[in-house]
């Protein structure tokens, strides 16, 4: 039977329910640079149990530190009150009574006992024979039973053990299968498996020990943690280990969001997970860990429900042609339509509809042209920026401007004052001027003053105030709003400009002011 046939045959053996154990607070905390405070661990644990509704959480390694002990005590006190204490698991070691006593002192009821799942680890790390290691494990199991501690057993480096010396794995299992161990946890500790190997090894375990509960624990060194997790489920394993945002040592672990949606959508497996809160837990862990979620991370990335191409927005209007089962509302999110050079009219219209703005065809064309212009400057425009762009384009982009900027150049060099050269058209006549200033905008305004004084014999308004801000809700890399206030005789004029560039925004505000003055002269 070929590998593909084996996988196909395994499909029918999917457990009706897959347990999800989240190890963000233990294995996830082994991410380089990540260390959760005790209160942060408690908040994450509460959200995982109450809101995400995972079956179990692994919250720490025994005997690490006093801070870790305090965190485990806090979580156990909380879980005791809510009736979830048996869902709290702590990694412990084959160290006689030490780990079990540590966990009991914290109020814990479950130890995930770390044994060696490969002969190489047994001999070279522990310097023991398989029999000696087994005797040590049995001693811990005996003490656990006497103290009422529930035991799950990790076979560390199980994937290497099955590849290099499966008889060692079977020797351990044959001796331990009739003990009080509730679950056997099978980790791909070094992240070396591919899905075909995972199917092969997992099926061998299940065929040999059909009445045992096996969990699979994936690592992502080859970017196969999710694929291997699903292969394990297809082969009959009953539980998977995950972390929020895929946190974990080296390349991380299998992300809970990705595992959940593929289990549900692709294989119709049942879990306890509340998908509507996956984005919330992702954001919480991102904030506490300081590890940013990539914008294209499936399910929880910032951009994964954003359509960029205008043709996609058009297709969504026509019976959601560009949507799949991963609808954003499923995860407490909504679909967005990016604004940029690839947007097209359909994206603009979608965003305008969302804001309740109605524009005619010509107005939409002008707004689209402005957003495309910003996109050509590699700027990202958000829906929150859109009202300001609409206002800027429709209220101030007057075709019959009497004062027009034809071209300009501003430059600055280290140790020298900025220089501005301008070419303007005022009431049909063209003028040029150059000037220096204390800044680029100051040099530009001084050049304008020259034109008004030397060519027109007129007084140029005096600058009263200059304010730069980000439009509320906007992004710093998209738009800058510059509001400039002028003294024109005994009157105050206030104009604003909007652009990706601060100087350009101020120049726009300046020309709006000059056109207002020209209109008032009529």
d(CA 248, CA 474): 34
User: Structure tokens of 20?
Assistant: 């999800």
Please state whether beta strands 110-116 and 416-426 pair in parallel, antiparallel, or not at all (unpaired): unpaired
Distance CA 291, CA 55 (A): 25
Tell me the H-state helices in 182-309: 195-208, 225-234, 256-267, 278-289
Choice among 19, 29, 58, 156 that is catalytic: 156
Residue 202 and residue 167 in contact, taking contact as beta carbons nearer than 8 Å: no
Nearest to 260 by CA among 21, 59, 473: 21
Of the candidates 26, 183, 203, 370, the residue annotated as catalytic is: 26
Q: How crowded is the C-beta side of 66, counted as CA atoms within 13 Å?
A: 0
Which residue shows structure tokens 């002192």? Answer: 105
3-class SS string, 292-315? CCCCCCCCCCCCCCEECCHHHHHH
* Cβ proximity of 135 and 97 under 8 Å: no
Q: What are 418's two structure tokens?
A: 């900025």
Rounded Cα distance, 476 and 336, in Å: 19
The DSSP output letter for 461 is: P
- Among residues 90, 94, 149, 138, the alpha carbon closest in space to that of 116 is found at 94
- Cα gap 76→107, rounded to integer Å: 6
* Cβ-contact 340, 308 below 8 angstroms: yes
Residue 429 CB partners (closer than 8 Å, separation 6+): none
Tokens of 240: 């998977």
Catalytic-residue membership of 156: yes
Catalytic residues: 26, 156
């Amino acid at each position: 039977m070929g590998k593909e046939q084996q996988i196909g045959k395994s499909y029918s053996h999917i457990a009706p329910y897959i347990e999800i154990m989240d190890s963000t607070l233990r294995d996830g905390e082994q991410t380089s640079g990540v260390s959760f405070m005790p209160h942060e661990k408690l908040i994450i644990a509460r959200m995982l149990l109450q809101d995400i509704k995972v079956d179990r959480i692994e919250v720490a390694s025994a005997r690490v530190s006093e801070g870790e002990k305090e965190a485990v005590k806090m979580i156990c006190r909380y879980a005791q009150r809510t009736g979830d204490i048996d869902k709290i698991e702590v990694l412990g070691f084959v160290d006689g009574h030490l780990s079990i006593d540590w966990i009991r002192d914290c109020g814990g009821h479950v130890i995930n006992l770390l044994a060696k799942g490969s002969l190489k680890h047994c001999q070279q790390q522990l310097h023991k024979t398989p029999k000696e290691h087994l005797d040590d494990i049995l001693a811990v199991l005996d003490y656990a039973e006497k103290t009422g501690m529930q035991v799950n057993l990790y076979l560390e480096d199980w994937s290497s053990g099955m590849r290099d010396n499966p008889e060692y794995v079977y020797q351990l299992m044959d001796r331990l299968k009739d003990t009080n161990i509730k679950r056997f946890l099978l980790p791909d500790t070094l992240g070396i498996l591919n899905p075909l190997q995972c199917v092969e090894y997992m099926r061998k375990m299940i065929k040999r020990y059909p009445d045992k509960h096996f969990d699979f624990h994936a690592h992502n060194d080859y970017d196969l943690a999710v694929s291997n997790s699903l292969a394990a489920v297809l082969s009959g394993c009953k539980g998977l280990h995950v972390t929020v945002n895929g946190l974990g040592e080296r390349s991380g672990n299998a992300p809970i969001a990705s595992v959940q949606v593929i289990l549900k959508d692709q294989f119709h497996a049942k879990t306890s997970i509340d998908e509507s809160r996956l984005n919330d837990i992702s954001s919480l862990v991102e904030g506490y860990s300081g590890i940013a979620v990539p914008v294209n991370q499936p399910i929880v990335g910032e951009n994964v429900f954003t359509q960029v191409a205008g043709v996609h927005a058009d297709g969504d209007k026509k019976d959601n042609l560009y949507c799949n089962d991963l609808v954003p509302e499923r995860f407490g999110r909504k679909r967005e339509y990016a604004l940029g050079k690839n947007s097209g009219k359909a994206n603009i219209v979608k965003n305008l509809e969302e804001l309740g703005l109605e524009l005619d065809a010509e107005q939409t064309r002008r707004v689209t042209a402005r957003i495309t212009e910003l996109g050509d400057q590699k700027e990202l425009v958000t829906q929150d920026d859109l009202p300001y762009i609409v206002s800027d384009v429709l209220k101030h982009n007057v075709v019959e401007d009497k004062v027009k900027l034809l071209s300009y150049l501003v430059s600055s060099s280290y140790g020298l004052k900025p220089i501005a050269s301008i070419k303007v058209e005022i009431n049909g006549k063209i003028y040029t001027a150059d000037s220096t200033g204390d800044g680029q905008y100051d040099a530009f305004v001084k050049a304008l003053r020259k034109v008004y004084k030397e060519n027109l014999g007129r007084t140029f308004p005096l600058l009263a105030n200059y304010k730069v801000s980000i439009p509320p809700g906007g992004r710093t890399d998209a738009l800058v709003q510059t509001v400039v206030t002028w003294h024109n005789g005994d009157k105050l004029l206030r104009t604003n400009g909007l652009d990706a560039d601060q100087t350009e925004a101020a120049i726009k505000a300046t020309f709006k002011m000059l056109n207002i003055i020209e209109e008032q002269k009529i």
